[in-house]
Amino acid sequence: MLLNGVRRAAVANTSVPNGRELEQRMTVSLRESVHMVADPKHLDESVNEVFQMMLGVSVERVESPLPLRDESVTAVVGFGGVLSGACVFRSGAEEAMQVAALMTGMDFTGIDDTVKDGIGEICNMLAGAWKGKVPGLSANCGLSIPAVITGRDYNLHVQAPEFQLNHRYAFNGVAFSVTIVCDGIQ
């Protein structure tokens, strides 16, 4: 899976700076504070915030791998600007339907457009919440429109990222993973 498409969209969503903003941005260097960007607690806090506020559930981080499922759902939101990369949400199809059901109050029997839309929005909010926790990143990093992939037997592979956080979470027996991949940082 290539992330270039979502990254281009994220760069396009970074607002065009005026002279003063450009100057401010040039002084922002995330590379010096990469330890803060890669701090795993930011991701855990973001996941808890989004699931608590939008679904009304508390999630806990788990170490066990995601259960094997025939069909899975992956949402990707690209980062562009001072940091390039992506936020990736992944779960089994059944788990995605349960997340969408909690969001909407509807019941689902398959991965339809509403489920994909809901999972895309969850990923969008996770990406926004995560970048909002890192000083210097919030205003200088754009988000792409979510892309959602469904299917069987596929893998996400990113070559030599600068850093990668891959956390698994669960609530009420519903397991999912959230990954932050950074492949470029200024």
Binding residues for other proteins, rule: CB under 8 A, are 13, 15, 21, 49-50, 53-54, 100, 103-105, 113-114, 117-118, 120-121, 124-125, 127-129, 132, 138-139, 143, 145
How far is the first Cα of the chain from the last one, in angstroms, to the nearest whole number?
Answer: 24
Burial of residue 46, with CB atoms counted within 10 A of its CB: 0-12 exposed, 13-18 middle, 19 or more buried = buried
**In terms of CB distance, is 13 or 164 closer to other proteins?**
13
* Contact criterion met (CB below 8 Å) for 99 and 119: yes
Nearest approach, Cβ of residue 40 and other proteins (Å): 20
**In terms of CB distance, is 4 or 64 closer to other proteins?**
4
**In terms of CB distance, is 54 or 156 closer to other proteins?**
54
**In terms of CB distance, is 86 or 103 closer to other proteins?**
103
d(CA 36, CA 58): 25
Nearest approach, Cβ of residue 68 and other proteins (Å): 27
* Contact criterion met (CB below 8 Å) for 147 and 76: yes
Q: Hey, which residues does 149 pair with through a beta bridge?
A: 74
